[in-house]
Structure 1
Amino acid sequence: MTQKQLIHIGTIGRPHGVRGLVRLHPYLENPSDLEDFDELVDDHGDRWTIHWQGDKVAALYDSGKKRLDNRNAVEHLTNRKLFVPKERLPEPKEDEFYFSDLIGLQAMLAHEDQEDTVFGVVQFVHDYGAGVSLEIKRDQGENALIPFTKICVPEIDIKAGWLRVCPPHEVEVPPQGQRDKS
């Protein structure tokens, strides 16, 4: 299964107490839904199920359904990302999408003359807690980070494979005469 087919839905945090519980950081609209998945796979290929024990505190069960029951057993799991196959998630509603759907889209730059040019390709979607940003791989120069806001990304067409970007002034854009006509 490729990384594109797996959706990051949570991250194992640091141990909580001495009985094998961990802090769990879910990335679902409803965190309790994380418990409904029969099996999650982490970024090391290990398989887990979880059972909530309290607010953002969970017990982990390995692929043999054995509960990890002491602090030493879970300490090395801190910061492991948990994934689920995309086909196990509900189909997004119209005008909704998963962030993973943005990866690989062509970023088009709108100019005053209404002519779009290729700005780059969305390589990563970052969310560090202060807002989502898109990392766009550019053919020339460094990758660009664009805030994922309606102002900076006013239009998205997943089916056609592109999105329109209006970078903030801090992002360098080549002058109109030097832009790439790819």
Structure 2
Amino acid sequence: MKTPLVHIGTIGKPHGVRGLVHLHSCIENPKDLETYGELVDDHSERWTICWQSEKVAALYDSQKKRMDNRTAVEKLTNRKLFVPKSLLPEPDEDEFYYSDLVGLQAKIKHDDQTEELFGTVYLVHDYGAGVSLEIKRGEGENAIIPFTKLCFPHIDIKSGWLEVCPPNEVEVRPSDVEDQS
């Protein structure tokens, strides 16, 4: 079984001409990126980092050779950095990693306590203005819903589902109803 990886940072634009990069952290304490040792990117290349200032880092390849020119690091812009989930601390009782949400079944609970399958969590989006979940409902039919307590009042990671209460702005139709427009 393949070890699950967790996205913990993204390589940004170059900083200067000596191979430094802006590094965008996805974890609470950006300094911890350095402590995880070797990181793997979305092209299966391995990197270690060394912070130079608050948001600027030097990159070292798998042979421990420092990237030392702007041209080389320009090609790495927007690469995502990952670590094996096993290196991360276990979340507390009511906590989870966003990556744990992918694959969960999204269910709507009706007033009569019956449940309806809404879809499956396909992606977690976080662009800085708030997290949203993309739920795959059927072939080519996805819904993007803000990840708030109001829209997702109950999450049961161990059982593999979460409750969804789509806001009025999200059109909810049975997947067997064809579009009339």
Superposition TM-score tier, normalisation by shorter sequence: over 0.9
**Cα distance between partner residues in 1 of 2:14 and 2:139:** 44
**Cα distance between partner residues in 1 of 2:111 and 2:134:** 23
Residue 164, structure 1, aligned to residue 163, structure 2: yes
2:133 alignment partner in structure 1: 134
Residue 142 of structure 1 and its aligned partner are, at CA, apart by: 1.6
User: Structure 1-normalised TM-score?
Assistant: 0.92
2:108 alignment partner in structure 1: 109
Residue 141 of structure 1 and its aligned partner are, at CA, apart by: 6.5
Aligned ranges 1:117-156 → 2 under 5 Å: 117-139=116-138, 142-156=141-155
Residue 149 of structure 1 and its aligned partner are, at CA, apart by: 0.2
**Cα distance between partner residues in 2 of 1:173 and 1:40:** 40
Q: State the AA in 2 paired with 1:164.
A: E
Between Structure 1 and Structure 2, the one with more helix by share is 1
Q: How many residues align?
A: 175
**Cα distance between partner residues in 2 of 1:41 and 1:52:** 17
> Residue deviations 1:109-159, cap 9 Å, x none?
122322211100101111111110111111377201111000000000000
Cα distance change, pair 140–171 in 1 and its aligned pair in 2 (3 A): farther
**Cα distance between partner residues in 1 of 2:157 and 2:43:** 30
Identity fraction in percent = 72
Aligned ranges 1:1-182 → 2 under 5 Å: 2=2, 5-139=4-138, 142-174=141-173
Deviates more, 1:165-174 or 1:27-36: 165-174
**5+ long unaligned stretches in structure 1:** none
Q: State the AA in 1 paired with 2:99.
A: S
Q: State the AA in 2 paired with 1:134.
A: L
Q: State the AA in 2 paired with 1:57.
A: V
> Aligned with 1:7: secondary structure?
strand
Residue 13 of structure 1 and its aligned partner are, at CA, apart by: 0.2
- Deviating above 2 A after TM superposition, structure 1's stretches of 4 or more consecutive aligned residues are none
> Aligned with 1:51: secondary structure?
strand
Residue 54 of structure 1 and its aligned partner are, at CA, apart by: 0.6
**Cα distance between partner residues in 2 of 1:59 and 1:141:** 41
> Residue deviations 1:47-82, cap 9 Å, x none?
000000012100000001111111112110000000
**5+ long unaligned stretches in structure 2:** none
User: Structure 2-normalised TM-score?
Assistant: 0.92
CA RMSD of aligned residues (A): 1.5
Residue 84 of structure 1 and its aligned partner are, at CA, apart by: 0.4
